[in-house]
Amino acid sequence: MKIAIGCDHGGIGLKAVVAAVIEELGHTLVDQGCFSNDSVDYPDFADKVCGLVETGVCERGVLICGTGIGMSMAANRRPCIRAALVHEAYSARMSREHNDANVLCLGARVLGPGLAEDLVRVWLTTAFAGGRHQLRIAKFSDLEGVSCPF
C-alpha cells in the first residue's frame, strides 16, 4: 500500500520508528513532514496526510503528535476520513475490523516505541470485516455531494 505519514514536533521521534516499520512491511511511504524539532501546528500536517487519503493518492495515513488527540480531532473533521486514536492492540485491530479506519493516530508522548510498532503492525495487517459494519459507517458518514475514492 501507499501510506502517507505526518507529525508535528511532538511526534517527530516516533515518526522515524513508525516509518521504519511501515517500510519493513513492504509499503511505500509518503512523508509529509514535519522534518525538524521546530514548533509547528499539527492541523497543517493532518490536512496534508488526509488530503492524500481523500484523493486516493494514498490508501492509508498515519498521524503522530504528542498525544494523538489533536491529530485525530483535525483528521475526523474531514468527510472521507475515519481516524482512530489507539493505545493498545485490541483497539488497533477493531478500528480496522469494525470501523475501517483509514488513518491511524498515535501519541508519541503516551506510547513507547515498541508498543507503537506493534500497533502499526496490527493496524496495517487487519482487514475490514464489512457487512453490518459498512452500514454503521454509512450512518455517520455524510457523503452527499462528496466523492471519496473508497
Instruction: Indicate the residue among 30 and 69 with the shorter CB distance to ligand RB5.
Output: 69
What's 112's DSSP letter? -
**What string marks each residue from 65 to 94 as x (binds ligand RB5 by CB under 6 A) or -?**
xxx-xx------------------------
Query: What is the Cα–Cα distance from 150 to 142, expressed in whole angstroms?
Result: 14
Give the footprint of ligand RB5 on residues 10-39 (CB under 6 A): 10
> Are the C-beta atoms of residues 6 and 108 closer than 8 Å to each other?
no
Taking the complex as a whole, the smallest distance from the CB of residue 46 to ligand RB5 amounts, in Å, to 10
Kindly state the cell numbers that stand for 71. 491529530
6 binds ligand RB5 (CB under 6 A): no
The residues annotated with a catalytic role in the active site are: 65, 98
What's 40's DSSP letter? -
Query: What is the Cα–Cα distance from 22 to 8, expressed in whole angstroms?
Result: 19
Contacting residues toward ligand RB5, per CB under 6 A:
8, 10, 42, 65-67, 69-70
